[in-house]
Structure 1
Amino acid sequence: WKEFQRLCVHGYNKWFTHWINVAENTDKPVYFFRFEDILANPEEELRELMKFILGVESIEGKVIDQRIKDVMAMGAKKNQTYKPRQGGTNRNLKNYTTEQIEYTKNYNEELFHVFGYVKDDERLPNNVTPFMDFEGQASPKSVEKINYYRKLNEIAMEKRMRMRGGIANQDNKIHVGPGIDGGIRLVTEMQVLKNIGVTDHIEFAH
């Protein structure tokens, strides 16, 4: 379990570092959205996502605008394809040792700040995802990148809007897979098949 948990920590880092690099250093538009935001503000998040996908500044009056309204009107119980686990966040924290938690915090410190998964009452007073508390010990470089994913999304939208006709050409498209430079497969990185059974004690969604 300890070995597999570290593979997950490393895989998480490699995956998101790759996509942040693509977002920062190429003309390809990469849009990041958080599962927690979709749950907390589904209508707002869906609108922003659809504006990016369609390459438009507004979806007001469009078919997708009405479709989002229709889905929201159905209510949470009927419009959920995936049912999140019950009991709140960090439900499985008890399955990790102090050593594992500290290793995760230190290894992915910058990424946790980039995606706003940190407790920082001064900079994020109403944060709904304060999963990691660095108790003021995070590096200045990490602190400067709190919620940096939102800035990357602004840049991605600018790139998206520059595409002629709103359609990506071959140079703009993002290709994934084991044969692509820089691409990774998390199943392989985390050696999931080798470690089947080591997560039996974890409570996943049902």
Structure 2
Amino acid sequence: MKILVIEDDKTTGPFVAKGLRQEGHTVDLVANGRDGLLQATTADYDILVLDRMLPGLDGLSLIKTLRGAGQRTPAIMLTALSGVEDRIEGLEAGADDYLVKPFAFGELSARVAALARRPGYQQQETTLQAADLQMDLVHHRVTRAGVDIPLLPREFTLLEHLLRRKGRVQTRTMLLEAVLGINFYPQTQLVETHISRLRGKGDRPFYQDLIENVRGAGYRIAA
């Protein structure tokens, strides 16, 4: 799934994003409410995970604005406010679930999965495709020309990220941050290593290369 995490805490935000990525999700992380609102209204997400107390625009105002605009993406609100009235206020603002800090990541993961099982979620995009390559997001399966392509979790996440942005170049830095959870590490060859593995499994055995290396820019899957 593609998940937007809106959390300004420098420990909680990266912790949540890293955990969700390790489970195979594509995760974008922003640290303030205004950027979160912009991101949530300009890109398609399956689930939102947002803090209640955010700089720029608080979580309650953010979710109210989204709901008022007809945005129905399921949302889990994180907060240190544990009172019953606080939880009611969050749910009445438009949040689908409410998780009090501190929390175990396993519980957050279970709540994300529970939201994904709700009726209506299956109406959202569940298959991504480029040429004869298909990615089944529900069953976590990739095939090309009808042949199963076994991928490791990070390879699956990297391919999903590229497929969702088909036709758009993704720089090495974008891929490090969004898929591998690394903010700055200029010497690492992780992106190149994972791209090479993806090509070895999904491109080289077939007649057409789908992953393009745009020299001096990054990588993309042609539209």
Q: Same fold (TM over 0.5)?
A: no
- Going by fraction, where is helix more abundant, 1 or 2? 1
* Greater radius of gyration (CA): 1
Select the structure with the greater relative contact order (CA < 8 A; seq sep ≥ 6). 1
- Going by fraction, where is strand more abundant, 1 or 2? 2
TM-score, structure 1 length as denominator? 0.25
